[in-house]
Amino acid sequence: MLNDYKEYIRKTYKTSKYPEVQEALIEYYDTMYLLTKKLKPDNFREKVWKPLLNLEVICKDPKFNNGIEEYSIKFGGSYPDNADDRKIAESAFIKAFKQIPNIYLIITGFDITPFLDLTPHLRFLELHGCPLIEPSPIIGTLKELKHLYFIGCDNLVTLPDSLNGMQNLIDMKIELCPKISILPKSLTNLPKLRKIIIRACDFFTSLPEKMGNAPELTSILIESCDNFKDLPRSLSQIPWLTINIKFCDYFQSQSNFPLELWKSCRILWTSSEEIWNDNIEFERSDNYPDYDDFTNTIFDREISWEKLESWFTIIPSHAFDELLSNALLLSAYSISLDVELPINRPCNYKNEQVQNIVKSITEFKVSKYSKIKKNPIYSKLIDIRGNLFSLFYDIRFSVKRSDYKKGYSKNIVEYKKLFSKVFIELVYHLDSWVEKNSNRLNLRDYIIEILNIIRPSFNLIKDNQEFNILM
Protein backbone atom coordinates (compact mmCIF):
# COMPACT_ATOMS: atom_id res chain seq x y z
CA MET A 1 0.00 0.00 0.00
CA LEU A 2 2.76 2.45 0.90
CA ASN A 3 4.64 1.64 -2.30
CA ASP A 4 1.53 2.47 -4.32
CA TYR A 5 1.33 5.81 -2.52
CA LYS A 6 4.99 6.52 -3.26
CA GLU A 7 4.44 5.73 -6.92
CA TYR A 8 1.48 8.11 -6.98
CA ILE A 9 3.68 10.88 -5.51
CA ARG A 10 6.44 10.28 -8.09
CA LYS A 11 3.96 10.47 -10.97
CA THR A 12 2.24 13.56 -9.58
CA TYR A 13 5.47 15.56 -9.21
CA LYS A 14 7.27 14.08 -12.21
CA THR A 15 7.47 17.43 -14.04
CA SER A 16 8.50 19.39 -10.97
CA LYS A 17 11.70 21.42 -11.16
CA TYR A 18 12.23 20.49 -7.52
CA PRO A 19 12.82 16.73 -7.04
CA GLU A 20 13.18 17.39 -3.31
CA VAL A 21 9.39 17.86 -3.17
CA GLN A 22 8.94 14.20 -4.16
CA GLU A 23 11.50 13.02 -1.63
CA ALA A 24 10.06 15.20 1.15
CA LEU A 25 6.57 13.78 0.67
CA ILE A 26 7.78 10.19 0.38
CA GLU A 27 9.78 10.53 3.59
CA TYR A 28 6.81 12.16 5.33
CA TYR A 29 4.41 9.36 4.37
CA ASP A 30 6.96 6.74 5.41
CA THR A 31 6.66 8.16 8.92
CA MET A 32 2.87 8.52 8.70
CA TYR A 33 2.47 4.93 7.53
CA LEU A 34 4.18 3.56 10.64
CA LEU A 35 2.47 6.03 12.99
CA THR A 36 -0.98 5.37 11.54
CA LYS A 37 -0.44 1.61 11.69
CA LYS A 38 0.42 1.96 15.37
CA LEU A 39 -2.36 4.37 16.43
CA LYS A 40 -5.19 3.92 13.91
CA PRO A 41 -5.13 0.39 12.50
CA ASP A 42 -8.78 0.84 11.47
CA ASN A 43 -7.60 3.36 8.87
CA PHE A 44 -6.19 0.52 6.77
CA ARG A 45 -8.06 -1.34 4.07
CA GLU A 46 -7.00 -4.00 1.60
CA LYS A 47 -5.68 -1.58 -1.01
CA VAL A 48 -6.23 1.87 0.51
CA TRP A 49 -5.01 3.50 3.70
CA LYS A 50 -5.84 6.84 5.22
CA PRO A 51 -2.87 8.56 6.91
CA LEU A 52 -3.32 9.85 10.44
CA LEU A 53 -2.17 13.33 9.34
CA ASN A 54 -2.47 14.15 5.66
CA LEU A 55 -0.04 16.52 3.97
CA GLU A 56 -1.49 17.74 0.68
CA VAL A 57 0.91 19.61 -1.59
CA ILE A 58 -0.54 21.13 -4.75
CA CYS A 59 1.62 22.56 -7.51
CA LYS A 60 0.39 25.61 -9.40
CA ASP A 61 0.93 25.08 -13.12
CA PRO A 62 3.82 27.36 -14.17
CA LYS A 63 2.20 27.77 -17.61
CA PHE A 64 -0.43 29.97 -15.99
CA ASN A 65 1.84 31.57 -13.41
CA ASN A 66 4.47 33.51 -15.38
CA GLY A 67 6.64 30.40 -15.56
CA ILE A 68 6.96 30.16 -11.77
CA GLU A 69 6.32 26.85 -10.02
CA GLU A 70 4.58 27.48 -6.68
CA TYR A 71 3.08 25.18 -4.07
CA SER A 72 0.15 25.26 -1.68
CA ILE A 73 0.06 23.15 1.49
CA LYS A 74 -2.91 21.75 3.40
CA PHE A 75 -2.07 19.85 6.57
CA GLY A 76 -4.64 18.24 8.86
CA GLY A 77 -6.18 15.12 10.27
CA SER A 78 -6.19 13.41 13.69
CA TYR A 79 -3.48 14.63 16.05
CA PRO A 80 -2.03 11.92 18.32
CA ASP A 81 -3.02 12.17 21.98
CA ASN A 82 0.36 10.99 23.20
CA ALA A 83 2.96 13.78 23.39
CA ASP A 84 5.77 11.60 21.99
CA ASP A 85 3.67 10.51 19.01
CA ARG A 86 2.60 14.12 18.38
CA LYS A 87 6.24 15.16 18.36
CA ILE A 88 7.03 12.49 15.75
CA ALA A 89 4.18 13.73 13.52
CA GLU A 90 5.12 17.40 13.87
CA SER A 91 8.81 16.72 13.24
CA ALA A 92 7.93 14.85 10.04
CA PHE A 93 5.78 17.75 8.87
CA ILE A 94 8.42 20.38 9.66
CA LYS A 95 11.08 18.39 7.83
CA ALA A 96 8.89 18.13 4.73
CA PHE A 97 7.84 21.77 5.02
CA LYS A 98 11.44 22.96 4.97
CA GLN A 99 12.08 21.18 1.67
CA ILE A 100 9.11 22.59 -0.25
CA PRO A 101 10.05 25.82 -2.09
CA ASN A 102 7.91 28.76 -3.23
CA ILE A 103 4.97 28.13 -0.88
CA TYR A 104 2.20 30.65 -1.55
CA LEU A 105 -0.68 29.10 0.48
CA ILE A 106 -0.81 27.25 3.80
CA ILE A 107 -3.90 25.86 5.55
CA THR A 108 -2.93 24.00 8.70
CA GLY A 109 -3.85 23.23 12.30
CA PHE A 110 -0.20 23.17 13.33
CA ASP A 111 1.60 26.28 14.65
CA ILE A 112 3.76 26.92 11.63
CA THR A 113 4.51 30.55 12.54
CA PRO A 114 8.05 29.93 13.94
CA PHE A 115 9.09 28.61 10.51
CA LEU A 116 7.48 31.23 8.28
CA ASP A 117 10.84 32.79 7.47
CA LEU A 118 11.16 29.81 5.09
CA THR A 119 8.18 31.04 3.07
CA PRO A 120 8.94 34.64 2.00
CA HIS A 121 6.45 34.44 -0.91
CA LEU A 122 3.50 33.26 1.18
CA ARG A 123 0.28 35.09 0.18
CA PHE A 124 -2.44 33.12 2.02
CA LEU A 125 -2.21 31.74 5.57
CA GLU A 126 -5.06 30.02 7.40
CA LEU A 127 -4.43 28.59 10.86
CA HIS A 128 -7.43 26.35 11.49
CA GLY A 129 -7.87 24.75 14.94
CA CYS A 130 -4.30 25.66 15.80
CA PRO A 131 -3.34 25.40 19.54
CA LEU A 132 -1.12 28.50 19.52
CA ILE A 133 -1.52 31.23 22.16
CA GLU A 134 0.29 33.96 20.23
CA PRO A 135 1.77 33.65 16.73
CA SER A 136 5.53 34.01 16.47
CA PRO A 137 6.68 37.57 15.63
CA ILE A 138 8.22 36.03 12.51
CA ILE A 139 4.72 36.25 10.99
CA GLY A 140 5.39 39.96 10.50
CA THR A 141 8.18 39.20 8.00
CA LEU A 142 5.64 38.00 5.41
CA LYS A 143 5.77 41.08 3.22
CA GLU A 144 3.80 39.43 0.37
CA LEU A 145 1.00 38.01 2.56
CA LYS A 146 -2.47 39.16 1.43
CA HIS A 147 -4.90 36.99 3.41
CA LEU A 148 -4.53 36.04 7.09
CA TYR A 149 -7.16 33.84 8.79
CA PHE A 150 -7.35 32.43 12.33
CA ILE A 151 -10.28 30.00 12.64
CA GLY A 152 -11.17 27.86 15.65
CA CYS A 153 -7.95 28.66 17.53
CA ASP A 154 -9.27 28.12 21.07
CA ASN A 155 -6.13 29.29 22.88
CA LEU A 156 -5.35 32.36 20.77
CA VAL A 157 -5.10 35.35 23.13
CA THR A 158 -3.34 38.04 21.14
CA LEU A 159 -1.52 38.86 17.90
CA PRO A 160 2.04 40.22 17.76
CA ASP A 161 2.87 43.88 17.10
CA SER A 162 5.07 42.73 14.22
CA LEU A 163 1.93 42.62 12.01
CA ASN A 164 2.88 46.05 10.68
CA GLY A 165 5.46 44.27 8.53
CA MET A 166 2.69 42.83 6.36
CA GLN A 167 2.70 45.67 3.89
CA ASN A 168 0.48 43.84 1.36
CA LEU A 169 -2.15 42.38 3.72
CA ILE A 170 -5.64 42.90 2.25
CA ASP A 171 -7.95 41.09 4.65
CA MET A 172 -7.88 39.53 8.10
CA LYS A 173 -10.41 37.11 9.56
CA ILE A 174 -10.59 35.91 13.16
CA GLU A 175 -13.38 33.42 13.76
CA LEU A 176 -14.32 31.14 16.68
CA CYS A 177 -11.36 32.25 18.79
CA PRO A 178 -13.02 32.73 22.22
CA LYS A 179 -10.04 34.11 24.17
CA ILE A 180 -8.88 36.97 21.97
CA SER A 181 -10.08 40.38 23.20
CA ILE A 182 -8.26 43.07 21.22
CA LEU A 183 -6.16 43.55 18.09
CA PRO A 184 -2.65 45.05 18.12
CA LYS A 185 -2.18 48.77 17.46
CA SER A 186 0.22 47.91 14.63
CA LEU A 187 -2.81 46.86 12.56
CA THR A 188 -3.57 50.54 11.96
CA ASN A 189 -0.31 50.96 10.00
CA LEU A 190 -1.11 48.45 7.26
CA PRO A 191 -1.27 50.44 4.00
CA LYS A 192 -3.37 47.99 1.96
CA LEU A 193 -5.74 46.52 4.56
CA ARG A 194 -9.29 46.55 3.16
CA LYS A 195 -11.39 44.17 5.24
CA ILE A 196 -11.54 43.01 8.86
CA ILE A 197 -13.85 40.17 9.94
CA ILE A 198 -14.27 39.21 13.61
CA ARG A 199 -16.85 36.49 14.11
CA ALA A 200 -17.97 34.47 17.18
CA CYS A 201 -15.15 35.67 19.47
CA ASP A 202 -16.82 35.82 22.89
CA PHE A 203 -14.31 38.08 24.65
CA PHE A 204 -13.49 40.42 21.80
CA THR A 205 -14.15 43.97 23.03
CA SER A 206 -12.74 46.61 20.70
CA LEU A 207 -10.78 47.67 17.65
CA PRO A 208 -7.58 49.77 17.95
CA GLU A 209 -8.39 53.41 18.67
CA LYS A 210 -6.55 54.66 15.57
CA MET A 211 -8.06 52.10 13.21
CA GLY A 212 -9.22 54.99 11.04
CA ASN A 213 -5.59 55.56 10.02
CA ALA A 214 -5.67 52.49 7.75
CA PRO A 215 -5.88 54.32 4.40
CA GLU A 216 -7.64 51.66 2.28
CA LEU A 217 -10.00 50.12 4.84
CA THR A 218 -13.48 49.71 3.32
CA SER A 219 -15.28 47.00 5.32
CA ILE A 220 -15.52 45.88 8.96
CA LEU A 221 -17.73 42.97 10.05
CA ILE A 222 -18.22 42.21 13.75
CA GLU A 223 -20.58 39.27 14.27
CA SER A 224 -21.72 37.36 17.37
CA CYS A 225 -19.22 39.03 19.70
CA ASP A 226 -21.25 39.56 22.88
CA ASN A 227 -18.64 41.71 24.66
CA PHE A 228 -17.85 44.00 21.74
CA LYS A 229 -18.65 47.60 22.78
CA ASP A 230 -16.22 50.05 21.27
CA LEU A 231 -16.21 51.37 17.70
CA PRO A 232 -13.34 53.88 17.52
CA ARG A 233 -14.38 57.35 16.43
CA SER A 234 -11.32 57.58 14.20
CA LEU A 235 -13.24 55.43 11.69
CA SER A 236 -15.21 58.54 10.77
CA GLN A 237 -12.10 59.57 8.78
CA ILE A 238 -13.04 56.91 6.19
CA PRO A 239 -16.28 58.15 4.57
CA TRP A 240 -16.54 55.14 2.22
CA LEU A 241 -16.31 52.64 5.10
CA THR A 242 -19.08 50.06 5.65
CA ILE A 243 -19.45 48.83 9.24
CA ASN A 244 -21.56 45.70 9.66
CA ILE A 245 -22.56 44.80 13.23
CA LYS A 246 -24.47 41.51 13.57
CA PHE A 247 -25.81 39.81 16.69
CA CYS A 248 -23.72 41.81 19.21
CA ASP A 249 -25.55 42.33 22.50
CA TYR A 250 -24.33 45.86 23.20
CA PHE A 251 -25.54 47.41 19.95
CA GLN A 252 -29.32 47.47 20.22
CA SER A 253 -30.19 50.89 18.81
CA GLN A 254 -28.84 53.84 16.88
CA SER A 255 -27.83 55.57 20.14
CA ASN A 256 -25.21 52.86 20.79
CA PHE A 257 -23.22 54.01 17.77
CA PRO A 258 -20.90 57.05 18.05
CA LEU A 259 -22.62 60.01 16.39
CA GLU A 260 -19.55 60.79 14.25
CA LEU A 261 -19.73 57.33 12.68
CA TRP A 262 -23.47 57.45 12.20
CA LYS A 263 -23.11 60.61 10.12
CA SER A 264 -20.05 59.66 8.11
CA CYS A 265 -19.93 55.87 7.51
CA ARG A 266 -22.41 53.33 6.25
CA ILE A 267 -23.78 51.35 9.21
CA LEU A 268 -25.51 47.99 8.75
CA TRP A 269 -26.98 46.38 11.84
CA THR A 270 -28.72 43.11 12.70
CA SER A 271 -30.37 42.53 16.07
CA SER A 272 -28.71 40.12 18.49
CA GLU A 273 -32.21 38.90 19.36
CA GLU A 274 -32.91 37.57 15.87
CA ILE A 275 -34.92 34.33 16.03
CA TRP A 276 -33.17 31.53 14.20
CA ASN A 277 -35.66 28.69 14.57
CA ASP A 278 -37.36 28.12 11.20
CA ASN A 279 -40.46 26.67 12.85
CA ILE A 280 -40.96 29.78 14.94
CA GLU A 281 -40.73 31.92 11.80
CA PHE A 282 -44.06 30.47 10.61
CA GLU A 283 -45.72 30.50 14.03
CA ARG A 284 -44.55 33.94 15.11
CA SER A 285 -47.16 35.82 17.15
CA ASP A 286 -47.21 38.71 19.60
CA ASN A 287 -44.91 36.67 21.84
CA TYR A 288 -42.26 36.69 19.11
CA PRO A 289 -42.00 40.24 17.80
CA ASP A 290 -40.13 41.03 14.61
CA TYR A 291 -36.62 42.38 15.06
CA ASP A 292 -35.92 44.43 11.96
CA ASP A 293 -32.42 45.21 10.77
CA PHE A 294 -31.61 48.86 10.26
CA THR A 295 -29.13 50.97 8.35
CA ASN A 296 -28.26 54.64 8.24
CA THR A 297 -29.18 55.69 4.71
CA ILE A 298 -27.41 59.02 5.30
CA PHE A 299 -24.39 57.44 3.64
CA ASP A 300 -26.36 56.71 0.46
CA ARG A 301 -28.08 60.09 0.34
CA GLU A 302 -24.81 62.00 0.46
CA ILE A 303 -22.93 60.16 -2.28
CA SER A 304 -23.53 62.51 -5.19
CA TRP A 305 -21.41 62.90 -8.33
CA GLU A 306 -19.88 66.02 -6.77
CA LYS A 307 -19.08 64.29 -3.47
CA LEU A 308 -17.44 61.40 -5.26
CA GLU A 309 -15.36 63.76 -7.37
CA SER A 310 -14.16 65.61 -4.26
CA TRP A 311 -12.68 62.33 -2.93
CA PHE A 312 -10.52 61.59 -5.97
CA THR A 313 -7.27 62.41 -4.19
CA ILE A 314 -7.92 60.00 -1.30
CA ILE A 315 -10.35 57.31 -2.45
CA PRO A 316 -8.82 53.81 -2.96
CA SER A 317 -9.49 52.35 -6.41
CA HIS A 318 -11.11 49.22 -4.95
CA ALA A 319 -13.72 51.36 -3.12
CA PHE A 320 -14.68 53.29 -6.24
CA ASP A 321 -17.29 50.94 -7.76
CA GLU A 322 -19.58 50.84 -4.72
CA LEU A 323 -19.47 54.60 -4.31
CA LEU A 324 -20.12 55.02 -8.02
CA SER A 325 -23.16 52.77 -7.66
CA ASN A 326 -24.50 54.91 -4.83
CA ALA A 327 -24.01 58.12 -6.82
CA LEU A 328 -25.66 56.51 -9.82
CA LEU A 329 -28.76 55.43 -7.90
CA LEU A 330 -29.10 58.73 -6.10
CA SER A 331 -28.95 60.61 -9.42
CA ALA A 332 -31.40 58.21 -11.07
CA TYR A 333 -33.90 58.59 -8.27
CA SER A 334 -33.79 62.40 -8.61
CA ILE A 335 -34.39 62.15 -12.35
CA SER A 336 -37.29 59.74 -11.81
CA LEU A 337 -39.06 62.42 -9.75
CA ASP A 338 -38.57 64.98 -12.52
CA VAL A 339 -40.24 62.85 -15.19
CA GLU A 340 -43.28 62.30 -12.90
CA LEU A 341 -43.60 58.55 -13.20
CA PRO A 342 -46.52 56.98 -11.25
CA ILE A 343 -44.47 56.08 -8.18
CA ASN A 344 -46.45 55.10 -5.13
CA ARG A 345 -43.54 55.53 -2.69
CA PRO A 346 -39.92 56.72 -2.80
CA CYS A 347 -37.54 54.22 -4.34
CA ASN A 348 -35.17 52.37 -2.05
CA TYR A 349 -31.64 52.42 -3.35
CA LYS A 350 -29.87 50.18 -0.87
CA ASN A 351 -26.97 48.15 -2.20
CA GLU A 352 -28.17 45.08 -0.27
CA GLN A 353 -31.42 45.06 -2.26
CA VAL A 354 -29.54 45.62 -5.47
CA GLN A 355 -27.43 42.51 -5.01
CA ASN A 356 -30.53 40.29 -4.93
CA ILE A 357 -32.59 42.09 -7.54
CA VAL A 358 -29.96 42.49 -10.20
CA LYS A 359 -28.79 38.89 -10.33
CA SER A 360 -31.58 37.70 -12.60
CA ILE A 361 -31.69 40.94 -14.59
CA THR A 362 -28.05 41.25 -15.59
CA GLU A 363 -27.57 37.62 -16.60
CA PHE A 364 -30.17 37.40 -19.34
CA LYS A 365 -27.81 38.99 -21.86
CA VAL A 366 -24.54 37.51 -20.59
CA SER A 367 -24.10 35.40 -23.74
CA LYS A 368 -24.22 38.54 -25.89
CA TYR A 369 -21.26 39.93 -23.98
CA SER A 370 -19.19 36.73 -23.91
CA LYS A 371 -16.00 38.58 -24.82
CA ILE A 372 -16.66 41.15 -22.11
CA LYS A 373 -17.26 38.41 -19.57
CA LYS A 374 -13.65 37.28 -19.90
CA ASN A 375 -12.48 40.70 -18.72
CA PRO A 376 -11.45 40.60 -15.02
CA ILE A 377 -13.49 43.72 -14.35
CA TYR A 378 -16.72 42.02 -15.56
CA SER A 379 -17.95 41.57 -12.00
CA LYS A 380 -17.75 45.35 -11.54
CA LEU A 381 -19.88 45.78 -14.65
CA ILE A 382 -22.52 43.53 -13.08
CA ASP A 383 -22.57 45.72 -9.97
CA ILE A 384 -22.67 49.10 -11.73
CA ARG A 385 -25.02 48.18 -14.56
CA GLY A 386 -27.03 46.18 -12.08
CA ASN A 387 -27.55 49.15 -9.79
CA LEU A 388 -28.78 51.14 -12.76
CA PHE A 389 -31.26 48.47 -13.83
CA SER A 390 -32.49 47.86 -10.31
CA LEU A 391 -33.58 51.48 -9.98
CA PHE A 392 -36.12 50.95 -12.73
CA TYR A 393 -37.04 47.58 -11.34
CA ASP A 394 -37.91 49.29 -8.05
CA ILE A 395 -39.88 52.00 -9.84
CA ARG A 396 -41.84 49.40 -11.75
CA PHE A 397 -42.92 47.64 -8.57
CA SER A 398 -43.67 50.85 -6.73
CA VAL A 399 -46.65 51.47 -9.01
CA LYS A 400 -49.94 50.53 -7.39
CA ARG A 401 -50.78 46.91 -8.20
CA SER A 402 -54.20 47.70 -9.66
CA ASP A 403 -52.74 50.36 -11.95
CA TYR A 404 -49.54 48.51 -12.85
CA LYS A 405 -50.33 47.29 -16.36
CA LYS A 406 -52.09 50.48 -17.32
CA GLY A 407 -49.40 52.62 -15.68
CA TYR A 408 -46.49 50.80 -17.27
CA SER A 409 -47.91 50.69 -20.79
CA LYS A 410 -48.90 54.33 -20.55
CA ASN A 411 -45.47 55.45 -19.34
CA ILE A 412 -43.13 53.24 -21.37
CA VAL A 413 -41.76 56.33 -23.12
CA GLU A 414 -41.02 57.98 -19.76
CA TYR A 415 -39.28 54.82 -18.51
CA LYS A 416 -37.11 54.78 -21.60
CA LYS A 417 -36.38 58.49 -21.29
CA LEU A 418 -35.40 58.03 -17.66
CA PHE A 419 -33.10 55.15 -18.46
CA SER A 420 -31.45 57.14 -21.26
CA LYS A 421 -30.89 60.24 -19.12
CA VAL A 422 -29.27 58.32 -16.30
CA PHE A 423 -27.05 56.32 -18.62
CA ILE A 424 -25.90 59.43 -20.48
CA GLU A 425 -25.18 61.18 -17.18
CA LEU A 426 -23.10 58.21 -16.01
CA VAL A 427 -20.99 58.14 -19.19
CA TYR A 428 -20.59 61.93 -19.07
CA HIS A 429 -19.12 61.86 -15.56
CA LEU A 430 -16.88 58.89 -16.27
CA ASP A 431 -15.51 60.61 -19.38
CA SER A 432 -14.75 63.80 -17.47
CA TRP A 433 -13.08 61.87 -14.63
CA VAL A 434 -10.64 60.19 -17.00
CA GLU A 435 -8.95 63.55 -17.55
CA LYS A 436 -9.23 64.65 -13.92
CA ASN A 437 -7.41 61.53 -12.74
CA SER A 438 -4.39 61.83 -14.97
CA ASN A 439 -2.16 61.89 -11.87
CA ARG A 440 -3.68 58.67 -10.49
CA LEU A 441 -3.12 56.19 -13.25
CA ASN A 442 -4.59 53.18 -11.42
CA LEU A 443 -7.94 54.93 -10.87
CA ARG A 444 -7.87 56.45 -14.36
CA ASP A 445 -7.29 53.04 -15.98
CA TYR A 446 -10.04 51.58 -13.82
CA ILE A 447 -12.55 54.19 -15.04
CA ILE A 448 -11.52 53.62 -18.67
CA GLU A 449 -12.13 49.88 -18.25
CA ILE A 450 -15.63 50.57 -16.89
CA LEU A 451 -16.39 52.90 -19.79
CA ASN A 452 -15.24 50.36 -22.39
CA ILE A 453 -17.50 47.72 -20.88
CA ILE A 454 -20.73 49.61 -20.20
CA ARG A 455 -20.99 51.54 -23.48
CA PRO A 456 -22.49 48.50 -25.32
CA SER A 457 -25.28 48.41 -22.74
CA PHE A 458 -26.75 51.52 -24.33
CA ASN A 459 -28.03 49.24 -27.11
CA LEU A 460 -30.57 47.92 -24.62
CA ILE A 461 -32.28 51.28 -24.69
CA LYS A 462 -32.35 51.52 -28.48
CA ASP A 463 -33.76 48.03 -28.91
CA ASN A 464 -37.43 48.12 -27.90
CA GLN A 465 -37.74 44.35 -27.65
CA GLU A 466 -34.77 43.99 -25.29
CA PHE A 467 -35.89 46.98 -23.23
CA ASN A 468 -39.33 45.40 -22.79
CA ILE A 469 -37.71 42.18 -21.57
CA LEU A 470 -35.75 44.19 -19.02
CA MET A 471 -38.78 46.05 -17.73
pLDDT digits 0-9 by tens, 374-421: 444 445 445 555 555 555 555 444 444 444 445 545 566 666 677 777
29-80: per-residue pLDDT in tens? 889 988 988 888 887 766 667 888 889 888 887 776 777 888 899 988 888 8
Confidence of residue 360 (pLDDT cuts 50, 70, 90): very low
The per-residue pLDDT for 391 is 53
- The runs of H, that is alpha helices, within 318-411 are 320-338, 351-362, 370-373, 378-398, 404-410
pTM for this entry? 0.79
Rounded to the nearest 10°, the torsion over CA 241, 247, 252, 258 is -30
pLDDT tops 90 at residue 196: yes
Mean pLDDT of the chain: 76
The per-residue pLDDT for 68 is 81
153-164: per-residue pLDDT in tens? 999 999 999 999
3-state secondary structure of 221: strand
Q: With pLDDT > 90 as the criterion, what percentage of the chain qualifies?
A: 28
Q: With pLDDT > 70 as the criterion, what percentage of the chain qualifies?
A: 70
The per-residue pLDDT for 260 is 87
Most confident of 174-178, 238-242, 275-279, 367-371: 174-178
423-458: per-residue pLDDT in tens? 778 888 888 888 888 788 888 888 887 777 666 655
Phi, psi of 57 (to 5 degrees): -120, 120
291-338: per-residue pLDDT in tens? 446 777 777 777 888 888 888 888 888 888 778 877 877 777 677 666
Distance CA 426, CA 420 (A): 10
The per-residue pLDDT for 192 is 94
Distance CA 259, CA 188 (A): 22
Instruction: Name which residue leads in pLDDT, 399 or 148.
Output: 148
Confidence of residue 343 (pLDDT cuts 50, 70, 90): very low
Closest CA to 118 of 99, 92, 143, 146: 99
Do you know the residue count of the chain? 471
- The runs of H, that is alpha helices, within 82-147 are 83-99
The per-residue pLDDT for 457 is 59
Mean pLDDT of 234-258: 88
pLDDT tops 60 at residue 290: no
pLDDT tops 50 at residue 239: yes
